A and B are shown apart, each in its own frame.
Chain A
Amino acid sequence: MLEAKEITFKIGEKVLLDNASVQFEAGKLNLIIGPNGAGKSTLMKVISRQLIDYQGTVSYNQVDSKALSDKKLAQMRAVLSQNIDLAFPLKVWEVVMMGRYPHFTDAPRQIDRDACEAALEFFDVMYMAERDYLTLSGGERQRVHFARVLTQIWNPIPNQGRYLLLDEPLTFLDIHYQFQFMHKLRELLKEKDLVVVGVVHDLNLAAQFGDVIHLIQDGKLIASGTKHEVLNTKNIKKAFHLEPVIYNNKEKGSLHLFFE
Chain B
Amino acid sequence: MTKFNNQYKAWFPILGIVLLVTFFFSMKLGAINISWSEIQASFSKLLSGEAMNLNERIFMQIRLPRALMGVFVGASLAIAGVLMQALFRNPIVEPGLIGTSSGAAFGASLYFVLGSVIKIHAGEWTLPLAACIGGTLSTVAVFFLSQNRSTGKSSVVALLLTGIAINALFLSGVGFLSYLARDPQARSIIFWNLGTLSGANWVSVSIVGTIMIVCLFFALRYAKQLNALMMGEDEAIFLGVNLKKLQIGVIALNVLLVAVATSFTGAIGFVGLVVPHLLRLMKGSDNRFLLLGSALMGGILLSLADLASRLLLAPAELPIGIVTSLVGVPVFIMLLRKKQYYF
Is the Cβ of B230 less than 8 Å from the Cβ of A87? yes
- Let me know if A88 is at the binding interface, CB within 8 A: yes
| B285 close to A79 (CB less than 8 A) | no
Complex Cα spacing A134 to B90, Å? 14
With A and B bound together, what is the CA distance between A96 and B4 in angstroms? 10
B239 lies within 8 A of A99 (CB): yes
The answer to whether B284 touches A87, judged by C-beta atoms less than 8 angstroms apart, is no
B306 to chain A, nearest CB (A): 29
Contacting B4 at CB < 8 Å: which of A71, A78, A88, A113?
Answer: A113
A98 contacts B227, C-beta separation under 8 Å: yes
The answer to whether A97 and B4 have CB atoms under 8 Å apart is yes
Chain A residues near B224 (CB, 8 Å)?
101, 106
Bound: A79/B239 CA distance, A: 9
Give min CB distance, A74 to chain B, whole Å: 3
Supply 23 A–B pairs (Cβ within 8 Å), ascending by A: A48-B238, A70-B237, A71-B240, A74-B238, A74-B239, A77-B238, A78-B238, A81-B234, A85-B231, A86-B231, A87-B231, A87-B342, A88-B89, A90-B286, A94-B284, A94-B286, A98-B239, A101-B239, A102-B239, A110-B1, A113-B1, A117-B3, A129-B4
Task: Contacts A88-B285, A101-B224, A102-B240 known; list 16 others, CB within 8 Å.
Answer: A70-B240, A70-B242, A73-B240, A74-B240, A81-B235, A87-B89, A87-B231, A88-B91, A89-B280, A89-B284, A91-B284, A95-B231, A106-B224, A113-B1, A117-B4, A134-B340
Residue of A nearest to B220 (CB): A106
Q: A73 CA to B237 CA in the complex, in Å?
A: 10
Q: Which of B226-258 contact A (CB under 8 A)?
A: 227-232, 234-235, 237-242
Instruction: Give the chain B neighbours of A97 by CB distance below 8 A.
Output: 4
Residues of A within 8 Å of B242, CB to CB, are 70
Report the minimum CB–CB distance from A45 to chain B (whole Å): 9
A9 at the interface (CB under 8 A from B): no
A-B CB contacts (within 8 Å), total count: 84
CA separation between A109 and B224, bound complex, in Å? Answer: 14
Is the beta-carbon distance between B231 and A98 smaller than 8 angstroms?
yes
- Answer whether A93 and B4 are a contact pair too, CB < 8 Å, given A98-B231, A101-B224: yes
Q: Is the CB of A84 within 8 A of B232?
A: yes
**A residues near B286, Cβ cutoff 8 Å:** 90, 94
Which residues on the B side are within 8 Å of A129 (C-beta)?
Answer: 4
Q: Is A161 an interface residue (CB 8 A)?
A: no
Which residue in chain B gives the minimum CB-CB distance to A70?
B240
**Chain B min CB distance to A11 (Å):** 9
**Docked complex: A53-100 residues within 8 A CB-CB of B:** 70-71, 73-75, 77-79, 81, 84-91, 93-95, 97-99
B35 is an interface residue with CB less than 8 A from chain A: no
Q: Does B148 contact A (CB under 8 A)?
A: no
Alpha-carbon distance between A85 and B280 when the two chains are bound, in angstroms? 18
Is there a chain B Cβ closer than 8 Å to A244's Cβ? no
Distance (whole angstroms) from the CB of A150 to the closest CB of chain B:
13
Per-residue 0/1 for A156-176: is the Cβ within 8 Å of any B Cβ (1 yes, 0 no)?
000000000000000000000
Across chains A and B, which 6 residue pairs bring their CB atoms closest together, nearest first? Answer: A74-B240, A88-B285, A87-B89, A102-B240, A79-B238, A71-B240
Contact B230 A88 (CB under 8 A): yes
| Cα-based distance from A95 to B4 in the complex (angstroms) | 11
B6 CB within 8 Å of chain A: yes
B239/A116 in contact, CB under 8 A: no
Q: How far is the CB of B156 from chain A (nearest CB, A)?
A: 10
Q: How far is the CA of A75 from the CA of B280 in the complex (A)?
A: 30
Q: Which residues of A contact B1 (CB under 8 A)?
A: 110, 113
Q: How far is it, in angstroms, between the C-alpha of A133 and the C-alpha of B91 when the chains are bound?
A: 17
CA distance A77 to B340 in the complex (A): 32
Q: Which of B6, B228, B234, B280 contacts A88 (CB 8 A)?
A: B280
Q: Are B4 and A108 in contact (CB under 8 A)?
A: yes
CB neighbours (8 Å) of B90 from chain A are 87
Q: Which of B196-248 contact A (CB under 8 A)?
A: 224-225, 227-232, 234-235, 237-242
Contacts of A106 in B (CB 8 A): 224
Q: Closest residue to A152 on the B side, CB-wise?
A: B239
A117 to B241, CA, bound (A): 23
**B285→A89 contact, CB < 8 A:** yes
Chain A residue numbers with a CB within 8 Å of B231 are: 84-87, 95, 98
Do A75 and B240 have beta carbons less than 8 Å apart?
yes
Do A84 and B4 have beta carbons less than 8 Å apart?
A: no
* Residue numbers in B under 8 Å from A102 (CB-CB): 239-240
Q: A50 contacts the other chain (Cβ, under 8 Å)?
A: yes
Measured CB to CB, the nearest residue on chain B to A93 is: B4
Please, how many angstroms separate the alpha-carbon atoms of A86 and B280 in the complex? Answer: 14
